[in-house]
Homo-oligomer: A and B are copies of this chain.
Amino acid sequence: MTINYDYENLALRLWFQMHRVRDALMTCEDQVFGEYGLTSEQYSVLMTIKYLQEPVRVTDIAHWLERSTNSISMIIDRMVKPGLLRRVRDRKDRRVVNVFITSKGEKALKPASVAGLEFIREVLSPLSYEDRRTLVNLLQMVKYKAFKYLDPGIDIEEMIRNEAKRHADLFERLTQYISPSIPEAKRQGGKK
């Protein structure tokens, strides 16, 4: 067996790059969302609750964000303390705990969404439409392989269908959610 070192090096380089890009994005996002008192992770949780519509359970948030319930629980703990979220026991089933966004959380979420979208536009600006499509597809291939590694019995076909639908829904709601900010901004700059 001969090892193709170039091929191997390329794999390692790609692996590094996938991690480093995310690290860099997280640092930027913590800065962007930090202006509104949120970390990048806290923003994702708020946006997910907004999208799923209250009442939302911790497991729903974890499922949507493809994270463990345990790690999402810890993030939520750190959001309940400063009053961004509220935990309320379900009236019908007392074992279930629902999570709600407080008015303080709402106040942070909207401007943070506008700033976040502005940041995404900026950071992706070097990529053409074709580049973006290629990147989404290639990353998806790696992600599905990773999911298959974690659970060999997983139904990838069904996952792909669900994901496409969920994303389309989320983006429509996100755009609707922040769209009133655009005419407002225009009005301020316009004539009286």
A94 to chain B, nearest CB (A): 32
> Which of B17, B44, B139, B186 touches A17 (beta carbons < 8 Å)?
B139
How far is it, in angstroms, between the C-alpha of A139 and the C-alpha of B135 when the chains are bound?
Answer: 8
- Interface class of chain A by DSSP: helix
Interface residue count on the A side (C-beta < 8 Å): 67
How many copies, total? 2
Smallest CB–CB gap between A46 and chain B, Å? Answer: 15
A23 neighbours in B (Cβ, 8 Å):
65-67
A175:B8 contact, CB within 8 angstroms: yes
Question: Complex Cα distance A67/B20, Å?
Answer: 9
Q: Is residue A138 within 8 Å, beta carbon to beta carbon, of the partner chain?
A: yes
CB of A175 within 8 A of CB of B10, answer: no
Q: Is A89 part of the contact surface with B, judged by Cβ < 8 Å?
A: no
**Nearest CB on B from A160, distance (A):** 12
- Contacts A123-B146, A140-B17 given; indicate if A22 touches B22 (C-beta within 8 A): yes
A1-32 interface mask toward B, CB cutoff 8 Å, 1 = contact, 0 = none? Answer: 10101011111111111111111110110010
Please list the 3 inter-chain residue pairs (A to B) with the smallest Cβ-Cβ separation, ordered nearest first: A22-B22, A24-B146, A9-B171
List 22 A–B pairs whose Cβ atoms lie within 8 Å, in order of A's numbering: A1-B182, A5-B175, A9-B168, A9-B171, A10-B136, A11-B120, A12-B120, A12-B171, A12-B174, A14-B124, A15-B120, A19-B22, A20-B143, A24-B146, A28-B149, A123-B146, A126-B145, A131-B138, A134-B134, A134-B138, A135-B135, A138-B138
Interface residues of A (CB under 8 A from B): 1, 3, 5, 7-25, 27-28, 31, 44, 65-68, 117, 119-127, 129, 131-136, 138-147, 149-150, 167-168, 170-171, 174-175, 182, 186
